[in-house]
Amino acid sequence: MLAVFALLAACSGGSGTALPRPTITVAGESVPSSGVSTVAQALKEAGVAVPDGELLSIRTHRPLGPDAHAGRVLVDGRPTLVAAPVQPGEVITVEDGGDVIEAIETVALPVPANNGIASLRRGARPGRLRVVRGVVSHEVVSRRELARPYDGALLSARPVALTFDDGPQPVYTPKILDMLARAHVHATFCLIGRQAAQYPALVRAIVAGGHTLCNHTWDHDEGLKNRSEAQILKEMSKAQAAITQASGGIAPRFFRAPGGAWSPQVELLARRLHLTPLKWTVDPRDWARPGTGHIIRVVLRSVHPGGIVLLHDGGGKRDQTVSAVQYLIVRLRAYKYRFQVPQPV
């Protein structure tokens, strides 16, 4: 792209005739040049910038910012500085710095087993990918599998996990804990931070029962994935501190997003706090109070070896859940299921 303009000195046609003032011509437009003595002043008067080149991404060519190739200014075809003086009649040319495609790099990246999600498996091993990508954008040019991830073996022939969200809650959490203790079942409790801070004795009772703790954010924000990185980290870290303090020093090793509001960023930030994402495979929507029979039917119809069942001990009236869990423990055992807690990855 070229922007060319000249400072022109008009000559007198005869004695007594006023000399026109020098002008700057920019793309055919004449601009008064009074007070212009440097290239920079001429550029400013004409409204002409010196565009630097852009660094472009390797695949989509989207702008990533300025590159190392700055634009330049020429006076009568010779490169000059913008601080240089300019004389009437000289021609100033502005040249674009030119765009540059980013460099590429080749990296070996781990591929987590079980997609990096807690499961009822052990002995998992990550895989590896050879990836060619842009150094700045990380846009992938090519990838090749070097080693396939191994998800591990089930903890038993027919393992199943019970998980309880939105507690601790002073009415229903103790009932569920008593039921689990009588049945010798261990479960995972996904605790809301502010609830844990309010009912620390219940958190200690969960730990004393041999159950597993899971971070379920401070305030159960179901729009978590739409928040900024700082907001997401605050929800996670504030809950982690509250649960750890309430438990007497036992820190959660898992994280569950409220309402299943997962995103790559949410999972990545959980990992940054050394928390394994904990999802589920069976959801009877007990929070909606669909009836004890409905909860039981959905779980028994949907469960499979390695399944993780989502239930709730908090967030509302949970009498249907309590009744359903009592029956489910009996029926799942009759079907040869063994109750286990998820393993971090």
60 backbone dihedrals φ, ψ, rounded to 5°: -90, -10
Number of Cβ atoms within 10 Å of the Cβ of 196:
28
Distances (CA, A) of 95 to 83, 206, 340: 17, 70, 69
Amino acid in position 315: G
The angle at the Cα of 212, spanning 305 to 319, to the nearest 5 degrees, equals 80
Torsion from C-alpha of 203, 206, 209, 214, nearest 10 degrees? -120
Give the C-alpha separation, 185 to 268, whole Å.
31
Give the C-alpha separation, 41 to 46, whole Å.
9
Give the C-alpha separation, 236 to 191, whole Å.
11
Residues with Cβ within 8 Å of 29's Cβ and at least 6 positions away in sequence, in order, are none
Q: Which residue has the tokens 């793309």?
A: 27
Q: Which residue has the tokens 């200014």?
A: 73
Characterize 163-194 residue by residue with b for buried, 16 or more Cβ atoms within 10 angstroms of its Cβ, and e for exposed: bbbbbbbeebbebbbebbeeeebbbbbbbbbe
Is the bond into 168 cis (omega within 30 degrees of 0)? yes
Helix then strand count (H, E) for the chain reads: 8, 21
**Helical spans, DSSP H, in 74-192:** 172-183
Task: List the catalytic residues.
Answer: 165, 312
- Looking at the DSSP bridge assignments, the partners of residue 63 are 56
Amino acid in position 257: A
Angle, in degrees to the nearest 10, between helices 200-208 and 229-247: 70
